[in-house]
Amino acid sequence: MNMMSTNAFKYQKTGRYSTFGNPAVAKHILIALHGYGQLAPFFIRKFNQLDPNQYFVVCPEGPHRFYRNGASGRVGASWMTKEERETDIQDYILFLDQLMDHVITENSFEKKTLLGFSQGGATASRWLAYGRYQFDQFLLWAAVFPPDMDAHFIPRFESSENFWIIGDQDEFISMAKAKNYFEELKKQLKRIEFVNFEGTHDIDAATLNTFLR
């Protein structure tokens, strides 16, 4: 008789996030989800060119931290892996919902933007589909929309302006392949626009500003 088994149970965990801006006066909140191997305190720096009295930026951190090289040195974070995939998706949606509850408790915002960069793009997509919050803008930045998204939840994206954004020198995809991918993406998301900028696999400040204005 095999006495071994693998089980799971729920427990409370502390989530980390970084912010930039003054939530007491800012009217526009931007939730920005980082890519694979990044950390919130470093990713938030990509938004410090914004006016802190107009924009309040919140960068949640992926729940899984790891050493990027070997067993010491620089640390990064990930939103999920293939292991216990469905459980991790449920957990980070709960985390993001509760984080949003937390940051808007004492502040009100006239506009809400969700940005998902690289691996954070799939995370942001699932949160918008399965979570409790809706946004005015959704920026899918240098990221892949989850190919397994349940079609039943696609209408959740019809209440936001959706953009797929990619640099013309992105290290992970050529512009020709990017355009082909976008044609396939439009079959899932009817309301989405293609935007490209001069640059690599990164957040381009000038391009970001065009959306936030």
**How far, in Å, CA of 198 to CA of 185, rounded?**
22
User: In 3D, which of 169, 195, 170, 171 has the Cα closest to residue 182?
Assistant: 195
In a domain, 124, yes or no: yes
Are the C-beta atoms of 36 and 78 separated by less than 8 Å? yes
Helix (H, G, I), strand (E, B) or coil at 181: helix
Across the chain, mean pLDDT equals 94
CA angle 181, 163, 168 (to 5 degrees): 55
The string of pLDDT tens digits covering residues 13-70 is 899 999 999 999 999 999 999 999 999 999 999 999 999 999 999 999 999 998 998 8
Which pairing describes strands 28-33 and 111-117: parallel, antiparallel, or unpaired?
A: parallel
**Residue 202, domain CATH:** 3.40.50.1820
**Per the domain annotation, does 107 fall within a domain?**
yes
Sign of the dihedral through C-alpha 79, 84, 89, 95 = negative
Contacts of 148 (CB under 8 A, 6+ apart): none
Which of 51, 50, 57 minimizes the C-alpha distance to 33? Answer: 57
Q: How many domains does the chain have?
A: 1
Q: Express each pLDDT in 60-105 by its tens digit.
A: 999 999 899 888 889 999 999 999 999 999 999 999 999 999 999 8
pTM of the shown model: 0.95
- Position 192 scores a pLDDT of 96
Confidence of residue 2 (pLDDT cuts 50, 70, 90): confident
Q: Find the domain containing 168 and state its range.
A: 17-64+75-212
Give one DSSP letter per residue of 116-160, joined into a string.
EETHHHHHHHHHHHHSS---SEEEEES----TT--GGGGGGGGGS
User: 60: closest CA among 80, 72, 81, 77?
Assistant: 77
Q: What pLDDT does residue 172 have?
A: 95
When pLDDT is averaged across residues 2-23 and rounded to a whole number, the result is 91
Q: Is residue 2 part of a domain?
A: no
Residues in a beta bridge with 28: 55, 111
127, pLDDT greater than 80? yes
What's the pLDDT band for 11 if we cut at 50, 70, 90?
confident
Assess if residue 6 is contained within a domain. no
Residue 4 lies in a domain: no
Does residue 186 fall inside a structural domain?
yes
Residue 212 φ then ψ, to 5°: -70, -25
Has residue 69 been placed in a domain?
A: no
Residues 143-181 have pLDDT tens digits of 999 988 888 899 999 999 999 999 999 999 999 999 999
pLDDT above 70 (res 1): no
CB 65: neighbour CB atoms within 10 A? 13
